[in-house]
């Protein structure tokens, strides 16, 4: 039977029932929302995600026969793989598990076989990084089981390598950095060039506010090809401008003058202005002025809609309705072409605003969205 759970004790019971012995431990890694800084990570720029309470849980124990026996309770499916099966290009949910074993081995670590039973309540395909959560949970479990001395950021980079090379998705480091480094009560200000990480206090309730996350449940049809196309445009722009990455553009107007193509100009304008918005967001959060995030969220959304062109009508409607219903500011979060929006709303209003958006979706003939209130939570860790 399919099971979606966030409870370590229940997972231990599942492990006992399926594997017939005690797990050595239980590990977890969270999904994330990105507060601001979209499509900046692979441009060597800035991001500011925070971890969700939604997470992947893994109960695990070593095996002596050198195989990995992995059960996903969500998919009600078990996959067994051996060292010879660890070939990039594997598909399905198991690729995220096998990819981590592969990345660890490629980095020279000895990884013994294990039994792994996992469950996740991170919504899939919603732009909340369910795959990075899975990779980082597996990595955290295997690092402990195999006594590996790998620090946080190195873990994030290995998980990203699994995603980029084994699974084949050309993402940046943000999602794995968030799943690994985030701490409860904080957003993570991360510099994707220098790897500098700062935990910025993000206590919305002290400001009388909360973060509504609304999943538009829009199918992510073009996400892979369009993501790769945006990345390629940014790299092409950096090449034309003679800089290592768009992070290095200091004079936006001068850069735009040098670029012949209006589409590339828009892509560059998004990345440069988005980096500036992240820096501004860090400033206001350091001063505890959470409400001042609102215009930055709005401007970020407009930039993604008009310049980076990664929103879809459902996402734009959700953002517009959130604002019209009393949100201080709102934006799409994540890679785009569907997925979730976040809205900064007065405390106690998330429910009402979520319902307003559901109504506007019904009126527009869209399927029902889902929503929850986000609480900045802990990164990957051992639970027991």
- Catalytic residues, by residue number, are 175
Q: Which range, of 38-46, 116-124, 177-185, 246-254, touches ligand GAF by CB under 6 A?
A: 38-46
> Tokens 């067994």 map to which residue?
80
- 41 counts as binding ligand GAF under rule CB under 6 A: yes
Min separation Cβ 160 and ligand GAF, Å: 8
Could you tell me which stretch among 10-18, 32-40, 149-157, 349-357 binds ligand GAF (CB under 6 A)?
32-40
Q: Cβ neighbours of residue 174 under 8 Å, at least 6 residues apart? A: 34, 37, 41, 47, 49, 190, 192
Smallest separation (angstroms) from ligand GAF to the CB of 369? 19
The two beta strands, 186-191 and 209-215, are: unpaired
CB of 24 to ligand GAF, least distance (A): 30
Q: Residue 292 and residue 282: Cα distance in Å, rounded?
A: 11
Shortest distance (Å) from residue 286 CB to ligand GAF: 22
Number of amino acids touching ligand GAF (CB under 6 A): 12
Q: How many residues does this entry show for the chain?
A: 384
User: Can residue 274 be called a binding residue for ligand GAF (CB under 6 A)?
Assistant: no
- Which CB sits closer to ligand GAF, 72 or 333? 333
Minimum Å gap between C-beta 284 and ligand GAF is: 20
SS3 at position 232: helix
Answer yes or no whether residue 349 interacts with ligand GAF by CB under 6 A. no
> What are the backbone angles phi and psi of residue 126, rounded to the nearest 5°?
-110, 5
Which position has the token pair 């809609």? 305
Nearer to ligand GAF, 99 or 335 (CB): 335
CB closer to ligand GAF out of 170 and 313: 170
Closest CA to 33 of 297, 213, 288, 230: 213
Q: Between 5 and 164, whose beta carbon lies closer to ligand GAF? A: 164
Contact string (CB under 6 A) for ligand GAF, positions 74-113, x = contact: ----------------------------------------
Which one, 73 or 132, has the nearer CB to ligand GAF? 132
DSSP line for 268-328: HHHHHHHHHHHHHHHHHHHTT-GGGGHHHHHHHHHHHHHTS----HHHHHHHHHHHHTT-S
For ligand GAF, the binding residue among 11, 25, 35, 38 (CB under 6 A) is: 38
Nearer to ligand GAF, 58 or 278 (CB): 278
Binding of residue 30 to ligand GAF (CB under 6 A): no
**Does 377 engage in binding with ligand GAF (CB under 6 A)?**
no
Nearer to ligand GAF, 332 or 345 (CB): 332
CA dist 261 and 264 (Å) reads 5
Residue for token digits 């202005």? 273
Work out whether the CA dihedral 271, 248, 32, 110 comes out positive or negative.
positive
Q: Which of 123, 335, 354, 379 binds ligand GAF (CB under 6 A)?
A: 335
β-bridge pairing 340-346 and 209-215 = antiparallel
Part of the chain binding ligand GAF (CB under 6 A), chosen from 12-20, 31-39, 137-145, 298-306: 31-39
Q: How does DSSP assign 243-281, residue by residue?
A: -SSGGG---HHHHHHH---HHHHHHHHHHHHHHHHHHHH
Q: Which of residues 125-144 bind ligand GAF (CB under 6 A)?
A: 129
| Residues of this chain, 145-204, that bind ligand GAF according to CB under 6 A | 171-172, 174-175
Q: How far is the CB of 223 from ligand GAF (least distance, A)?
A: 9
Report in angstroms the alpha-carbon separations of 372 from 144, 355, 366.
Answer: 32, 11, 19
Can you tell me which residue has the tokens 């050198």? Answer: 66
CA–CA distance, 14 with 57 (Å, rounded to integer)? 12
Q: How far is the CB of 277 from ligand GAF (least distance, A)?
A: 13
User: Which residues contact ligand GAF by CB under 6 A?
Assistant: 34, 38-39, 41-42, 129, 171-172, 174-175, 334-335
């Amino acid at each position: 039977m399919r099971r979606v759970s966030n409870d370590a004790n229940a997972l231990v019971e599942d492990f006992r029932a399926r594997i017939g012995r005690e797990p050595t431990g239980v590990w977890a890694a969270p999904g994330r929302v990105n507060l601001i800084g979209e499509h900046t990570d692979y441009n060597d720029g800035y991001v500011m995600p925070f971890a969700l309470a939604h997470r992947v849980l893994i109960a695990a124990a070593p095996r002596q026969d050198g195989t990995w026996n992995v059960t996903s309770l969500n998919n009600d499916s078990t996959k067994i793989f051996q060292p010879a099966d660890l070939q990039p290009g594997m598909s399905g949910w198991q690729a995220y598990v096998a990819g981590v074993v592969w990345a660890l081995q490629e980095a020279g670590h000895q990884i013994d076989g294990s039994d792994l039973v996992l469950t996740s309540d991170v919504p899939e395909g919603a732009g909340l990084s369910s795959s990075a959560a899975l990779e980082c949970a597996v990595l955290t479990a295997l690092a402990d089981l195999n006594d590996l001395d790998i620090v946080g950021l190195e873990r994030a980079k290995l998980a990203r390598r699994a995603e980029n090379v084994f699974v084949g998705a050309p993402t940046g480091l943000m999602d794995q950095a968030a799943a690994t480094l985030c701490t409860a009560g904080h957003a993570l200000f991360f510099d994707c060039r220098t790897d500098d990480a700062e935990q910025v206090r993000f206590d919305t309730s002290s400001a009388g506010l909360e973060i509504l996350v609304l999943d538009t449940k829009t199918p992510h049809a073009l996400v892979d090809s369009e993501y790769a196309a945006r990345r390629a445009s940014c790299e092409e722009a950096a090449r034309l401008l003679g800089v290592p990455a768009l992070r290095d553009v200091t004079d936006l107007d001068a850069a735009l003058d040098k670029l012949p193509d209006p589409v590339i100009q828009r892509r560059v304008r998004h990345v440069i202005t988005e980096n500036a918005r992240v820096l501004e967001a860090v400033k206001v959060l350091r001063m505890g002025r959470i409400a001042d995030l609102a215009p930055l969220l709005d401007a970020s959304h407009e930039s993604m809609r008009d310049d980076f062109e990664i929103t879809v009508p459902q996402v734009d409607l959700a953002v517009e309705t959130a604002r019209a219903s009393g949100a201080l500011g709102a934006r799409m979060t994540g890679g785009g072409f569907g997925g979730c929006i976040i809205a900064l709303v007065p405390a106690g209003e998330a429910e009402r605003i979520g319902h307003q958006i559901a109504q506007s979706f019904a009126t527009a003939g869209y399927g029902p969205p889902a929503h929850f209130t986000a609480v900045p939570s802990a990164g990957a860790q051992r639970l027991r």
